[in-house]
Amino acid sequence: MESIEYIEKLSTSSKKASLALRTLPSKQKNDFLRDLAANLRKAEETLLEENQKDLITGKENQLSSALLDRLELNPVRIEKLAASVEEIANLPDPVGEIIRGNLLPNGVRLLTQRVPLGVVLVIYESRPNVTIDVGALSFKSGNACILRGGKEAIHSNLALANIFRQTLRETGLPEDALHLVEKTDRSLIIPLLQQDKYIDLVVPRGGEGLIRFVSENSRIAVVKHDKGVCNLYVDESADPKKVTDIVVNSKTHRPGVCNALENLVIHKDYPHKSELLKTLQEKGVELYLDQELLQVCPSGEEADESQYETEYLDLRLAAKQVDDLTGAIAFIQTYSSGHTEAILAENQSTIETFIGSLDSAALFVNCSTRFHDGGEFGLGAEVGISTGKLHVRGPMGLVHLTTTSTILYGNGQIRA
């Protein structure tokens, strides 16, 4: 019961703060963000101390080195965090943008403008920089936010949230514009997901389990940031000079992220199958191959079906040979998570058939899957990559933290 009261207080105070934020002029918002960046730099010592507590607990709990790395703050990362807040200050303000307008036949002037959503809830894991990134993006778009980070990063997250709230106080803004949920037991998530009266959007970022849990229990509208089982098809018409670079870049440039390649599909008549697989192995990639590809690359392991459904986030890759384009499309339709698919081919009609047959957030032709990113798309900072189809699909930017409101200016008109 105590925790329900805590959640209700959190939600109502966020809603109240959001009313003050929604009409805040851009200049005031940008000034706040620059102050926040300065305060982050000033607080380096405290941040490192608090982060150290999380790292020690993490080591005691035997977190993997990859997880410890995601958790770590250091002077370079703190500077990056401050710089990214300044970058958000420099982005155009989406609030107030008129996205549609016309004079209706009856003389009423109609304007549809972007307005803030209100209160945004983001549930995420390990990386403490999300606390500041999402806080700054929500603030810039005129929203209050409630952040529920992982237990393993609680000291770092609290320190960051404190700096954010302190900066709000210093600049005369309501500190409840950002809340970090201090109690990280999972039992608090369900009552949070029932606050649809006060919270307008929930963004779960994390593993499949978390996302399923949120979708099943939320009364609030959800924008999912789910896994990316990215597929890349090498057609017989592909230009071998491009193939190796693109496949290696897609898989090895940053294997731990959602736009990294997971399944490689190769046309049986692509002449350089063996070299391609060998190059991947030389780059340290472990290969899971079907019977046909094992014949050209016997040092690979045999793939089983479940491997084509797996997001490795690691230097591991499943590969499959197909007889033709139809086979490639059927394979991708079966295993795709709707995130990212790519084709390497020079035959234009093959490319267009591939694009017309597949339905994913982004489709890549003769370039790396690693370009599936808000920054690369030219959208600026992003909340993440939405794998749902409603509201936003693909990179979720500032604009997607807004909704619309339509104003109709009349002069006495009534409906006949």
> Which residues sit at the interface with a second copy, rule CB under 8 A?
22-23, 102, 104, 108, 110, 115, 117-118, 196, 200-201, 215-216, 219, 221-223, 239, 241-242, 245-246, 249-250, 253, 355-357, 359-368, 370-371, 376-378, 388-391, 393-394, 403-415
* CB 216 to a second copy: min, Å: 6
Q: What does the block give as tokens for 320?
A: 């499959």
CB of 151 to a second copy, least distance (A): 26
Distance CA 141, CA 144 (A): 9
Note whether 366 and 242 are within 8 A (CB).
yes
Token pair recorded at residue 296: 């050209």
In terms of CB distance, is 320 or 400 closer to a second copy?
A: 400
Q: The tokens 């339509």 sit on which residue? A: 406
Please report, for residues 259, 394, 404, the alpha-carbon distance to residue 368 in angstroms, rounded to integers and kept in the order given.
Answer: 9, 16, 35
Q: Minimum distance between the CB of residue 205 and a second copy, rounded to whole angstroms?
A: 17
Give the CA-trace dihedral at 359, 365, 369, 371, to 10 degrees.
Answer: -100
Which pair of tokens denotes residue 287? 């290969």
- State the minimum distance, in angstroms, from the CB of residue 265 to a second copy: 18
Compute how many other C-beta atoms are within 10 angstroms of the C-beta atom of residue 192.
24
Task: Tell me the torsion sign for CA atoms 322, 327, 328, 331.
Answer: negative
Q: Do the Cβ atoms of 315 and 321 come closer than 8 Å?
A: no
State the minimum distance, in angstroms, from the CB of residue 60 to a second copy: 37
CB 253 to a second copy: min, Å:
6
Q: Virtual CA dihedral for 207, 259, 271, 268, nearest 10 degrees? A: 40
Query: By the 8 A CB rule, do 333 and 269 touch?
Result: no
Given the complex with a second copy, which of 78 and 361 has the nearer CB atom?
Answer: 361
Closer residue to a second copy (CB): 82 or 214: 214
Task: Give whichever of 105 and 298 is closer to a second copy, judged by the CB atom.
Answer: 105
Q: Return the number of the residue (296 or 399) whose C-beta is nearest a second copy.
A: 399
Nearer residue to a second copy within complex by CB, 321 or 402: 402
Q: Least distance in Å: CB of 124 to a second copy?
A: 19
d(CA 126, CA 156): 10
Q: Which CB atom, from 299 or from 413, has the smaller least distance to a second copy?
A: 413
Measured from the CB atom, is 48 or 315 closer to a second copy?
Answer: 315
CA dist 277 and 50 (Å) reads 45
Smallest distance from a second copy to CB 99, Å: 11
By beta-carbon proximity to a second copy, the closer residue of 13 and 126 is: 13
Report in angstroms how near the CB of residue 305 gets to a second copy at its nearest.
Answer: 18
Question: Which is closer to a second copy, CB of 302 or CB of 352?
Answer: 352
For every residue of 178-203, which 3-state class applies, written as one string? Answer: EEECCCCCHHHHHHHHCCCCCCCEEE
Q: In the complex, what is the shortest distance from the CB of residue 334 to a second copy, in angstroms, rounded to a whole number?
A: 13
CA pseudo-torsion sign 250, 251, 253, 254: positive
DSSP E strand stretches across 117-193: 119-123, 144-148, 178-180
- Residue 47 vs 361, nearer CB to a second copy: 361
- Exposure string (b/e) for 373-397, b if CB count within 10 Å is 16 or more? bbeeeebbbbbbbbbbeeebbbbbb
Q: What is the nearest approach in angstroms of a second copy to the Cβ of residue 379?
A: 9
Q: CB-based contacts of 25: which residues, under 8 Å, 6+ apart? A: none
What's CA 258's distance to the chain center, in Å? Answer: 9
